[in-house]
Amino acid sequence: MARILLIEDSPTDTAVLTQWLERHGYEVLAAANAEDGIALCRSERPDLVLMDVVLPGMSGFQATRALVRDPQTAAIPVVILSTKGMETDRMWGLRQGAKGYLVKPPTEAALIAQIRQVLGG
């Protein structure tokens, strides 16, 4: 099954999302900030990245842009998962190269549907 990198600074959100993803057969890697997430993405080559926006240091928008522009990680799709629910936030995230945008808290069904849509399965 697909490997998903979760870049999320909230331990609670990380625990809940990991539980949901593992229940659907995904292997989960996690990073608590964008810099560690980018490094993990380069070394582990996950099938998809779930990216929070509000992170310590570099924002999720900046990290998404960095991953999309890096030839090593450009083919790995990013789905933004954020409390920022304004249409302008969604549009900005997609302009950074994200393949999807979900507002927190998503339902388990919506999260899995978005991942399957982006991964083509």
Residue 10 has pLDDT above 90, yes or no: yes
Q: Quick check: 32 and 8 in contact, CB under 8 A?
A: yes
CB neighbours of 74 closer than 8 A, spacing ≥ 6? 67, 68
Mean per-residue pLDDT, 90-118: 97
Q: Looking at the whole model, is its pTM more than 0.85?
A: yes
| CATH superfamily assigned to domain 3-119 | Response regulator (3.40.50.2300)
Q: What is the pLDDT of residues 20-46, one digit of tens each?
A: 999 999 999 999 999 999 999 999 999
Domain layout of the chain by residue ranges: 3-119
pLDDT for 1 equals: 84
pLDDT for 16 equals: 98
> Alpha-carbon distance 12 to 8, whole Å?
10
pLDDT for 14 equals: 97
Mean per-residue pLDDT, 2-10: 98
Give the pLDDT band of residue 93 (cuts 50, 70, 90): very high
pLDDT for 101 equals: 97
Give the pLDDT band of residue 19 (cuts 50, 70, 90): very high
**Long-range interactions of 109-112: CB distance < 8 A, separation 24+:** 111/17, 111/20, 111/21, 111/81, 112/20, 112/24
pLDDT for 113 equals: 97
Mean per-residue pLDDT, 86-90: 95
